[in-house]
Chains A and B, each alone.
Chain A
Amino acid sequence: MKERPGKPDNTASLDRFFQANSCAIIGASANPTKAGHQILNNMLSAGFPGSIYPVNPRATRIANLPCYPSLTAIPGQVDLVIITTASATIDRVAADIEQRCREKADLRAVIITGAGFAETGTDEGCERQKLLINCCRRNDLRAMGPNCIGIIDNHHHIDTTFLLGTSREPGGIGFVSQSGAMGAWLGMIWSSQPRPIGFGKFVSLGNIADVDLVEMVHYLGTDPLTSVIGLYLEGDRQARRLMETLREIVPKKPIVVLKVGRTDQGRAAAHSHTGSMAGADRIYDGVFRQYGVLRANSVEELSDTLQAFDHLPLPRGNHAFLITQAGGPGVYCADALAQAGGIQFAAVAQATKEALRLASPPFASVCQPEGHLDISPGATARQHAEVVEIALRDEAVDALLLIALPVMFMSGEALADELIQAITRVRASGINKPFLPVIMAGEWVRESRRRLGEAGILTFETPDRAARALANMVAYQKFCSSSVSGG
């Protein structure tokens, strides 16, 4: 693939966005209905450590910061420029960038959040985009967008978006999205958890006039702060280059993709059998599998799987043990595990079965069938914790799912406290296996799940969602340990 002229082809140049030391916001505003207001707010609330320079000719101070009439009027060093104004202002903005680069030569990167560019499909929009990008290329600036919501980096305290409710908690998840709103949705899901889920980086690429999807995915692949990569994908004309990039990353870190949109490109033109069968989506599906990329079928599965990879150790094998205090939900979960594929139930040692029986109430059903312990609704919080600990200590168990539906005589809070102690003991003895508790449901168990989250124990919403997250981890582990990954 030929690089476009003037485009610095080094991944390191993307550090300019995430590790900017100072930032100008063109179109910063005191008016809360303006994107330039919310972006400034988010930069401040993210705790951006460098200087922030609002730029707006109609204001002298915004949010207690001195405001400048133009980019060229800013006295200090400026690394990153966020352009929030509409595309109609682009002549002026581009001229200011040119002048600043001539006089100070300090700018390194530009994020263009404004709309009205090539995405409109109009000649005017395309011209404006070209003008701006050519200006960036001439001056060796990397550009993101236009028509994007920019980036969030919770490690480097930067948020150039106007999104609501983003968690500021740092984590290992890196997410690249062909839609800003999909990123917003995930961010809201994570920040709404009883214990908000953190993430590392979020990127929305918009029109991809300069920084493209493959480059950004490659960057996250090399980023030491990113432990798992999420991707919302509608399609990429350079699918082969993207797939080859994903293939290189997968042995180092898992990639979870939510791929939507089924294109018929190529189908109409095809005459033979093979051609007519090969819709692009089918090929995506096969190639994801070929290179060990995990495909999520829903936003929930994407979110759960990313969290699971970031918070849980990889299972050593595919043998799961299921403990349930609720009959039906346990069967529901066993079905989900079987349907997800790749998971087997762990046959624990005879001594473990004896210990489980002793620790359970009299009406418990122990390992009938194998790998399934129904401790019955009469089980106390303490009994839950004991059987969890016993099962985790068995060699045959690679991962443990727990389903609990607190009742009048067992509070979710007590269950959380007991589980935290049990897991702490197990970890202290050097056992680190994926533990996936499902405490149900909704508002009734919010405090229980919050306590577990505070103690670093990830919880899941429903049994089937936990099962699918585990199945994805098992599939990844299997891919990495098989010879397929070597190919």
Chain B
Amino acid sequence: MANQKQAVGSGGKSQLREAEANRFLAARGVNMVACQAAPSPEEAAKMAASIGFPVVLKLDSPEILHKTEAGGVVVGLATTAAVRAAGHEILKRAREYRPNAEIIGLLVQPLIKGGREVIIGGVHDPQFGPVVMFGLGGIHTEVLRDLSFRMAPLTFEHATDMIQEIRGFPILCGTRGQGARDITSLAELLVRIGQVMVDHPEIGELDLNPVAVLGEGSGCVVLDALIRLR
């Protein structure tokens, strides 16, 4: 248990930034989007060239966790010049958003196309202990509250039923020219997140938002992750 604790909460922090959460979850078998840390826009441009375009560029700061609000995410950059320019812009906006925030640099990730985005959450509830949440994200989550909850650990059947419970489930089965999504892989991911929540009671809340669910047989990729410690 002491080792696991150390694995999550290095140095008495209350939350892990994306790069840390990405490493932590990838080490536990969660299919995280490839994520490279670049100290500068120039380095980021070089990394993007080696990863292959288009890429996503994100701010890496332990003090700005809601990156989108700070203008810290730019999607679909197709050239080294574009990456460099976006990198400078992200850093500038971050300094404006919170002048004294510690900024580590930038994260470069490949752009994952063709996925239907969903949200997976974990919470250590005071009454229920580890709990897993699932929803379609966006307005489905925020406005319609179309979500399902299960107590962890989950079986594969529990996870499948949890996916089918939401009203928006038909969207994952294929609509409007989009094929069916990889629901098997999504259910496996829910099971795995449940296990992470059980194995790590020190995690208070965990957000995988968004998760890209690809076409049948192509799996799921977690595009962003945030972990808060209890």
Q: Which residues of A does B touch, CB under 8 Å?
A: 235-240, 243, 265-266, 270-275, 277-278, 280, 282-283, 285-287, 289-290, 482-484, 486-487
Contact = CB atoms under 8 A, between A and B. Distances in A.
B158 interface: yes
A289 B165 contact: yes
A484 B165 contact: no
Contact of B205 (A275, A282, A290, A486): A275
Contacts of B127: 235-240, 265-266, 280, 283
B128 A487 contact: no
Contacts of A266: 123, 125-127
Contact of B123 (A240, A265, A275, A285): A275
A486 B209 CA distance: 31
16 contacts: A238-B127, A239-B128, A240-B151, A266-B127, A272-B226, A274-B122, A277-B121, A277-B133, A278-B123, A280-B127, A283-B128, A286-B151, A286-B165, A287-B128, A290-B158, A487-B156
A257 B86 CA distance: 55
B228 A271 contact: yes
Contact of A274 (B123, B148, B157): B123
B161 interface: yes
A327 B195 CA distance: 53
A273 B149 contact: no
A239 B133 CA distance: 17
B141 A289 contact: no
Contact of A240 (B129, B150, B209): B129
A417 B149 CA distance: 49
A440 B149 CA distance: 40
Contact of B157 (A272, A277, A283, A487): A487
Interface residues of B, number: 34
B205 A271 contact: yes
Contacts of B204: 275
B227 to A, nearest CB: 9
Contacts of B150: 286-287, 290
A273 B158 contact: no
Interface of B: 119, 121-123, 125-129, 131, 133, 135, 141, 145, 147-151, 154-158, 161-162, 165, 204-207, 209, 226, 228
Contacts of B158: 290, 484, 487
Contacts of A273: 119, 121, 141, 207, 209
Main SS at interface, chain B: strand
A287 B151 contact: yes
Nearest to B149: A286
B141 A484 contact: no
A278 B155 CA distance: 21
A266 B127 CA distance: 9
Main SS at interface, chain A: helix
A239 B129 CA distance: 9
A219 to B, nearest CB: 22
B160 to A, nearest CB: 8
Contacts of B228: 271-272, 275
A270 B133 contact: no
Contacts of A283: 125, 127-128, 131, 149, 151
Contacts of A483: 157
A272 B203 CA distance: 12
A455 to B, nearest CB: 40
A280 to B, nearest CB: 6
A482 B131 CA distance: 23
A270 B126 CA distance: 11
A225 B150 CA distance: 32
A339 B20 CA distance: 46
Contacts of B126: 265-266
Contact of B131 (A235, A271, A278, A484): A278
| Residue from A278, A280, A282 whose CB has the most chain B CB atoms within 10 Å | A278
Contacts of A270: 123, 205
Nearest to A243: B151
A266 to B, nearest CB: 5
Nearest to B228: A272
A314 B46 CA distance: 67
A278 B129 CA distance: 12
A419 to B, nearest CB: 38
A405 B133 CA distance: 47
A34 to B, nearest CB: 39
A22 to B, nearest CB: 40
A282 B148 CA distance: 8
Nearest to A285: B149
A243 B119 CA distance: 25
Contacts of A484: 155, 157-158, 161
B207 A277 contact: no
Nearest to A271: B228
Given A273-B209, A483-B157, A286 B162 contact: yes
Nearest to A244: B151
